[in-house]
Amino acid sequence: MSSREVVLRRVRQALGRDGAPDADDVVRGEAAVAAAAAYSRSGDLGPEARADLFAERAGEYRVTIRRVAAAAVTEAITAELTDRGARAVAAPADLPEAWRVPGVRWETDGRDGVLLGTETLDGCDAVVTGCALAIAETGTIVFDAGALQGRRLLTLLPDLHVCVVAQEQIVQTVPEAVAASLAAARKGAPITWVSGPSATSDIELERVEGVHGPRTLVVLLVG
């Protein structure tokens, strides 16, 4: 008997069954649990209020938030990269031209199917991306390797991450964000939730920012 069979048999014995449960019963049980749920699954804030809440909450994690009109994104990106002395900047292949500001060396990942080497990425000072969505209540940005985001490594190695978040991309609550990510999850996309720069509370429980991952996260909130 394989280990798989042994473990499954042990589980069934423990539960007082001979075989697997009826799949329909399980589905019904799952639905019953969901139906009994009494927590709130959505928010009632309008888009402006959501954006304000997101800015406030993300700001508490030491994320730098810049509210920017759509027409001023290029300028804002330029300012962030220049102010922080970024010279080599990584980008996903589908980053809009308007965001590829002059004055820096762009390293594009995935252009014509060619991925940047790890050393190259590590050598980048910054990365500019969009995002899949953002969560107001928790100040979280969600990435799903989809449009304007690129693969995971892009937002992990460079020390400065400039992320463009459109107001329409902001949902209020965690349940709404999970629901909005369902399609990506079903496709098996890698999904990363980012809430501030990295931190540790491992030393006397005092929170310290910037362990691994980008130490500076700048959000350009467009809308």
Interface with another protein includes 193 (CB under 8 A)? Answer: yes
Sort strands 105-109 and 88-92 into parallel, antiparallel or unpaired: parallel
CA distances from 32 to 27, 182, 212 (A): 9, 20, 41
Q: Which of 18, 24, 37, 44 binds another protein (CB under 8 A)?
A: 37
For another protein, the binding residue among 18, 23, 44, 102 (CB under 8 A) is 23
Strand partners, 200: 208
- Determine, following the binding rule CB under 8 A, whether residue 192 of this chain makes contact with another protein: yes
The two beta strands, 64-68 and 105-109, are unpaired
Site residues (CB under 8 A) for another protein, limited to 115-144: 115, 118-119, 122, 135, 137-140
The pair phi, psi for residue 6, each rounded to 5°, is -65, -50
Task: Provide, rounded to whole angstroms, the least separation between the CB of residue 209 and another protein.
Answer: 8
Name the residue nearer to another protein (CB basis): 77 or 139: 139
Q: Within its chain, how far is the Cα of 200 from the centroid?
A: 19
Site for another protein in 151-180 (CB under 8 A): 151-153, 156, 174-175, 177-179
Q: What is the DSSP string of 67-134?
A: EE-GGGHHHHHHHHHHHTT--EEEEETT--GGGS-TTSEEEEETBTTBPPPHHHHHH-SEEEE--SEE
- For another protein, the binding residues in 196-215 under the rule CB under 8 A are 196-206, 208-213
Taking residue 133's Cβ as centre, other Cβ atoms within 10 Å add up to 21
Site for another protein in 63-102 (CB under 8 A): none
Nearer to another protein, 110 or 223 (CB): 110
Residue placing its CB nearer to another protein in the complex, 79 or 199: 199
Among 24, 33, 85, 112, indicate the residue that binds another protein (CB under 8 A): 33
Q: How many chain residues bind another protein (CB under 8 A)?
A: 77
Which residues 46-65 are close enough to bind another protein by CB under 8 A? 57, 61
